[in-house]
Structure 1
């Protein structure tokens, strides 16, 4: 397994793909990240075609176990960010 791509590497790759400078590519990446974060935080969902869908899901109050002591404790309801990977991306990995 290779190391994950860093933000600098991603910006450089986007700049090359867009045939633009790194500053423009970095601004585009930051804008997309900001839009996804804002939309999901407000309870919405964002679909990136060919990549997947980002959304927020509410989890109900539940009983959990402390792994150190084995004690059962009640965990309050919370929200969690989920990502559903697009079929196109799944298929491209298995080709």
Structure 2
């Protein structure tokens, strides 16, 4: 089985992002990767605290609450309880939407 690299699967991972930042900034890949990981950690920490993260020109990360509810097991049809949960949502900014559709 052949492993596909990010450029072949049309996806960017943390390493790819760090390499791009390092090349644009003239920094080392290690420093850029650390910066990327710190940004993601800060967003995750803010979300865990219930805070909204607003990045002008990019978008907003916002925690959404899902109430507990009843559902059905699709294989048996049995009624099950689905616990309340929190999810992280993303809403793109107009500038990003325009860039994607422009």
Deviation at 1:76, TM superposition (A): 2.0
Structure 1 unpaired stretches of 5+: none
Contact (CA 8 Å) 2:14, 2:36: kept in 1 or not? no
How large is the RMSD of aligned CA atoms in angstroms? 1.4
1:1-95 equivalence runs, <5 A: 2-95=9-102
Count of aligned positions: 94
Deviation at 1:44, TM superposition (A): 0.7
- The separation in 1 between residues aligned to 2:76 and 2:95, in whole angstroms, is 44
TM-score by length of 2: 0.81
